[in-house]
Structures are given as C-alpha cells and as structure tokens.
Amino acid sequence: MKKMQSFIKRTFICLFLITIVSCKVASIDSERNKLLILERKGWTFYINTEKIILEKTILDKRNFKSVEIKKSEKKIYIFQKEKSSNYLSITSLAAQDSLTDKDLVVIDGIPYSNFDAKSLRIESSAIIKLTKSTDTIKIGCRPIKNLILVSTK
C-alpha cells in the first residue's frame, strides 16, 4: 500500500513538472506577444517616426536605441540606432516569385499561413538563420513543398 502511494505521489509530481515546463516553452517570445496584444487593443507603433503595423513587422531588438511610451495617446515610439534599416520580405528571403498553398513559413517556431507570410517585413539584421527545404515533406496529412524556417534575434 505504501509503495502504491509513493508511486502515485511521484507520478503526480512528474506530471506537475511536465505541465510547468510545457507552459514555459509555450511562452517563447512573450515580449512580442505582449506588444501585439497592445496593438490589438488600439495602441499605435512607430519606428523612428514611421507608423508601422507591428504584427506584420519583425524587428531586431539589438537595433533599439530607445523606446518612448505615450499612454495618454496610446502610442509607442521605437527609435533605432541605425535609422536606415533594411527590411526583407519572406518572398525575397525564399528567392521565389510567390509562395504557394503547399509552402510553409515558420518564424521562431510560429507557423504563418502563406497569405500572412507574404505581408511580413523582417529587419535583415534580425535574421540569425534561414533554412529552406525544397523536398516535399509530410506534416500530419499535409504535404509541404517548400519549408522555410527563419530564426531571429
């Protein structure tokens, strides 16, 4: 009886730890997610003085010089060290004319639909690694013709 209680206790502790660890992994880029939530609530973002849609722009955090928050106006200004940053699109990164419905773009572990991926702008200095696979890969039941993996800073 005592062995059974010990086994149940150890199993419960293991399950609890697995739950905590898996929740931690799910919050990989929580800073960006918090900012995206603010954008959905009506906040406006500016890079230097240019208005941007943060949801469609991936920035290099190391290029931030300062961040100014104006709560009364619901505006966030991000000033960059290099004001003439180069932005790339997924299409130019993939060296393809267009993405098809059999392509998949994954940026920092987050999959994007082809429609969403086409409209993304990525600051070139933010890209750490770009991997393209032109072989057809099956993910679940879906065949993926081109898999594009992008890791950013």
Q: Render pLDDT for 55-113 as a digit per residue (tens, 0 to 9).
A: 888 888 888 898 899 999 999 999 998 877 788 887 777 665 556 666 677 887 788 77
- Alpha carbon distance 9, 112 (integer Å): 41
What's residue 128's pLDDT? 84
Nearest to 130 by CA among 99, 91, 84: 91
Residue corresponding to tokens 């993304």: 120
Percentage of the chain beyond pLDDT 70 is: 75
Query: Using alpha carbons only, what angle is made at residue 29 by residues 52 and 63, rounded to the nearest 5 degrees?
Result: 50
What are the start-end ranges of the H helices in the chain? Answer: 2-26, 30-40, 90-94, 114-118
**8 pLDDT above the threshold of 80:** no
The model's pTM = 0.65
| Contact call for residues 79 and 64 (beta carbons, < 8 A) | yes
